Amino acid sequence: MTEAALLAHIARLPHAKANFKQLVRELGSHLPSRQELETMLARLVARGDLIETSSGHFVATSGNREFAVGRLSMHRDGYGFLISDRLLEGITGDIYIPADAARSAMHGDRVVVRIARIEPGGRADGEIVKVLKRAHPTVVGEFQVRRQGFLVIPHDERLRDWIEIPEDLAIPAPTAQIDRIGPKPLAITDPAKLDGLIVNVELLEYPENGERAVGRVVEILGSPDDFGIDVEIIIRKYHLPHRFPPDVVAQAESVPGVIAAWELADREDFRELDIVTIDGETARDFDDAVWVDRLPNGHFALQVHIADVSHYVRPGTPIDAEARLRGTSVYFPDRAVPMLPFELSTNICSLNPHVDRLVVSALMEFDHAGDMVAQRFVRGVIRSAERMTYTDVHLVLEGDPGLRERYRALLRRFELMRELAETLNRKRVRRGSIDFDLPEPLIEFDEWGAMTGVVRAQRNIAHRIIEEFMLAANEAVASHLQASGLPSIYRIHEPPDPKRVMEFEEVAAHFGYSLGVGAIPVKKFAYVDKRRDGHKVRRDIVLPGEVRISPRHYQKLVAKIEGKPEERILSYLMLRSLKQARYSTDNVGHFALAADHYTHFTSPIRRYPDLIVHRLLTASLDGWAYSSLPELSAFADESSQSERQAADAERELVEWKKTKFMSDRVGEEFDGLIISTTKFGLFVELTDLFIEGLVPMDSLPDDRYTYHENARKVIGQRSRREFSIGDPVRILVERVDTVERKLQFSLVEERPAREGKKRRR
């Protein structure tokens, strides 16, 4: 009997409950031994699929309205919410956990919650009964010397409990005292001298029954004002592995820097073709190289060559284990935390120019309409002819005389690339693919590494060329793996929640726009049992099936607002109405791309799912299955989690740097755009700096203002003056909170002669 069968059996029993003796009696003939049953029950309890209410008594959490399992999200004021793993009948939103009921857990912990109360509107309260998995083996914070002893104040405000540090655990081992700040380790032997420094603490005891957590200092990072300390804090706050273990380094260093003759056996040779890489100016590793030609029948031949990382990173090796742990490379504005060691990521795996490199190649043929008429996948070897940048390719295609002369031998190739990319883009547009052109902020630094500003990242035809070619290769690989019938990992993007769609429709209506979806959801009522007293209460429910939404609805609205003043805010809100893309073994398609099959194949140097897809693809070419479905499902879940963690870390560091940048600009005026209205005030994003701040409600001038939720407007009670999403405003930077990374603005009623000029006070 499998664990899934055991869990299903318990779930079918009355109240989904069973005791150990009962299970032995009912399932004894299906189990080899009582010990195996104990082992299976222990694993199910550890995962949260079962709750052991008392010794030998088990309750299934799935389908049970008494318990819920999920991730705890804490608020800095002490209360929290359970983000459940599954939809819970009769409950809308997350489960509220009062402060007193949440003291045994920390933000991010995976917990089991007993649902104490469900209100008629679907709001639920609960209490934590068990912590399944701790999210924080270590905590980064500021060391404090107090009369009651040594304490560390966590940098993450959602970790509200201070950590006690016993005196004999305050000084780490000399080799671990500092990792990157300054040329010499901090020779600190007196714990009192740690006062005010940033440290990383390993938790030895977690908070229980109102007692503080206890830990020991494992790293001294430096002073809060040290250059680069922000990156070090974020790395440790998000528990990003940033040092390669010795066995990983040793294995990476043992990889030969040149390709042996035996490694070229059974590979197609593309070294005579003028294949090129096209990347950003600051790129250090090159996953992909491309080549395009016109065939005799008038069709396009597209070759996408991807670094054959799977040749060097074998399953079960130290490098593979570390790559799986990291899941992805993390890119900060001024440094990166790579998935693979330097010896692989920027050397033997990277498709550097003028040297032989091993690849896995997608060879595709497209007709004049952009339809793929043939595809083939092979192991190959290339020798990149040039390391091109987006800027140079763009200038070549725009007619720059100097660059056209320099790359004269490649001119025809680049022109064919542009023609094919435009053809493929038209094909995607015809099928309904959504193309949000949201401005991406790019942080600029001076020669000393200090931030000088935030600008809009430039996109040109060269970006489009690579984007279209990578999309085509990813789709081709996904369709091949789907057709093979073998287990695989896909990049999926599920249709949006109808409720989120209708919330967007309400905002869009204020601008005179609509997605034009099929129908408005219909409210109906149902009688549901209220917990504890058994009374039946009427509750309105929304039937989401009434809304029929397709990518084309979004695509048409994107086209309508292009170039309009409200384009930026509506595009942002449309994006928020969509679900997050993720990895899955269940291919449900990609909504935003309007693609039936999609995966990630083109970046194995920096993404672990791409490495797995390479293994799946090459195994299918050899006629065997690389991995089982359960193992692939675990890969997919881990990769999705790593991706979100990396994105959160990157986003937080960018916001931190923006806040530090604005701390020197208090008193200056800027143009902005209202991006949100709330009962607290107006959230305004600065037009040229992509920086957001709050104009508090009580600071709005000349009237008393209130928030009208139905209209999503802030309206003056006497003047009836309105502030709406999308309104342009002029603001003054009043205050910068560098701890919470928040900005406070005030409105400027009279427009000054010069933008950014300091106003006298």
Structural domain tally of the chain?
Answer: 6
Per-residue pLDDT, 647: 95
User: CA-based angle 193:194:199, to the nearest 5?
Assistant: 165
Amino acid letter, residue 585: T
| Structure token digits, residue 8 | 């299903």
Last residue in a domain, options 180, 212, 237: 237
| Residue 522 scores a pLDDT above 70 | no
Place of tokens 């920390």: 106
Q: Do 191 and 315 have their domain in common? A: no
Residue 527, Cα to own-chain centre: how many angstroms?
39
pLDDT tens digits along 659-681: 989 998 999 999 999 988 999 99
Q: Which of 28, 25, 60 is nearest to 41 (CA)?
A: 60
C-alpha separations of 437 from 28, 335, 456, 457 in Å: 61, 26, 12, 11
Task: Identify the helix (H) or strand (E) that includes residue 730.
Answer: strand 728-737
| Residue 527 scores a pLDDT above 60 | no
Residue 479: which residues within 8 A CB-CB, separation 6 or more? 375, 596, 597
d(CA 182, CA 460) in angstroms, rounded, equals 40
d(CA 165, CA 169) in angstroms, rounded, equals 6
d(CA 156, CA 139) in angstroms, rounded, equals 9
Per-residue pLDDT, 57: 82
Q: Do 265 and 399 have their domain in common? A: yes
d(CA 684, CA 662) in angstroms, rounded, equals 14
Last residue in a domain, options 24, 40, 60: 60
Domain membership of residue 91 as a residue range = 67-133
Q: Do 195 and 95 have their domain in common? A: no
Q: Helix axis angle, 246-253 relative to 318-326, nearest 10°?
A: 120
Q: In the 8-state DSSP scheme, what is residue 385?
A: S
Confidence category of residue 518, pLDDT binned at 50, 70, 90: low
C-alpha separations of 558 from 76, 192, 460, 668, 729 in Å: 38, 59, 19, 34, 24
**φ, ψ for residue 379 (rounded to 5)?**
-85, 140
Q: Is residue 678 part of a domain?
A: yes
pLDDT tens digits along 672-705: 999 889 999 999 999 888 899 999 999 998 899 9
Place of tokens 């490694």: 263
Helix count and strand count (H, E) for the chain: 17, 36
Q: Regarding predicted confidence, which is higher, 283 or 276?
A: 276
Q: Are strands 582-584 and 490-492 parallel, antiparallel or unpaired?
A: antiparallel
Place of tokens 């799977």: 310
Are the C-beta atoms of 66 and 114 separated by less than 8 Å? yes
Per-residue pLDDT, 288: 97
Per-residue pLDDT, 174: 63
**φ, ψ for residue 756 (rounded to 5)?**
80, 0
Lowest mean pLDDT across 42-46, 130-134, 267-271, 692-696? 42-46
Are the C-beta atoms of 203 and 192 separated by less than 8 Å? no
Q: Is residue 228 part of a domain?
A: yes
How many Cβ atoms sit within 10 Å of the Cβ of residue 309? 30
Contacts 24+ apart (CB under 8 A), 92-95: 92/121, 92/122, 92/123, 93/122, 93/123, 95/68, 95/124, 95/125, 95/126
Q: Which of 127, 165, 159 is nearest to 145 (CA)?
A: 165
Q: Which of 275, 237, 77 is nearest to 142 (CA)?
A: 237
Q: Do 259 and 404 have their domain in common? A: yes
Q: Do 500 and 475 have their domain in common? A: no
| Residue 185 scores a pLDDT above 50 | no
Residue 747: which residues within 8 A CB-CB, separation 6 or more? 695, 699, 700, 701, 729, 730, 731, 732
Q: Is residue 243 part of a domain?
A: no
Place of tokens 């909170």: 737
d(CA 570, CA 725) in angstroms, rounded, equals 9
Instruction: Rank 211-220, 321-330, 446-455, 498-507 by mean pLDDT and report only the highest.
Output: 321-330
| Residue 217 scores a pLDDT above 90 | yes
Per-residue pLDDT, 205: 93
| Residue 195 scores a pLDDT above 90 | yes
Q: Do 158 and 18 have their domain in common? A: no
Per-residue pLDDT, 567: 85
C-alpha separations of 371 from 365, 368, 476, 480, 588 in Å: 8, 8, 11, 16, 22
Q: Is residue 592 part of a domain?
A: no
Lowest mean pLDDT across 21-30, 65-74, 568-577, 599-608? 21-30
Q: Do 720 and 733 have their domain in common? A: yes
User: CA-based angle 70:72:77, to the nearest 5?
Assistant: 160
Q: Regarding predicted confidence, which is higher, 591 or 4?
A: 591
Per-residue pLDDT, 319: 97
**φ, ψ for residue 552 (rounded to 5)?**
-65, -30
User: CA-based angle 46:51:57, to the nearest 5?
Assistant: 120
Strand order in the sheet with 356-366: 268-269, 372-383, 356-366, 300-307, 288-294, 276-279, 386-389
Q: Do 259 and 300 have their domain in common? A: yes
Q: Do 412 and 542 have their domain in common? A: no
Q: Is residue 445 part of a domain?
A: no
Are the C-beta atoms of 433 and 595 separated by less than 8 Å? yes
C-alpha separations of 641 from 54, 309, 613, 758 in Å: 33, 22, 18, 44
| Structure token digits, residue 426 | 């038209």
Lowest mean pLDDT across 85-89, 109-113, 651-655? 85-89
Amino acid letter, residue 681: G
Q: What is the mean pLDDT of residues 557-582?
A: 89
pLDDT tens digits along 404-418: 999 999 999 999 999
pLDDT tens digits along 91-114: 878 899 998 888 889 999 999 888
Q: Do 125 and 142 have their domain in common? A: no
Per-residue pLDDT, 761: 39
Confidence category of residue 277, pLDDT binned at 50, 70, 90: very high
Q: Which of 701, 703, 708 is nearest to 747 (CA)?
A: 701
| Residue 517 scores a pLDDT above 50 | yes
pLDDT tens digits along 360-406: 999 999 999 999 999 999 999 999 999 999 999 999 999 999 999 99
Confidence category of residue 750, pLDDT binned at 50, 70, 90: low
C-alpha separations of 405 from 398, 461, 724 in Å: 13, 20, 53
Lowest mean pLDDT across 192-206, 416-430, 443-457, 474-488? 443-457
Q: Is residue 758 part of a domain?
A: no
Mean pLDDT rounded to a whole number for the chain: 87
Q: Is residue 756 part of a domain?
A: no
Q: Do 565 and 629 have their domain in common? A: no
Per-residue pLDDT, 161: 85
Q: Do 482 and 503 have their domain in common? A: no
Q: What is the mean pLDDT of residues 414-432?
A: 96
Q: Is residue 41 part of a domain?
A: yes
Q: Regarding predicted confidence, which is higher, 301 or 546?
A: 301
- HEC string for 145-157: EECCEEEEEECCC
Per-residue pLDDT, 547: 58
Q: What is the CATH number of the domain that holds 724?
A: 2.40.50.140
Q: What is the DSSP string of 377-435?
A: EEEEEEEBSEEEEHHHHHHHHHT-HHHHHHTGGGHHHHHHHHHHHHHHHHHHHHHT---
| Structure token digits, residue 224 | 């809060």
Last residue in a domain, options 86, 110, 133: 133
C-alpha separations of 733 from 669, 674, 694, 699, 714 in Å: 6, 15, 10, 13, 20
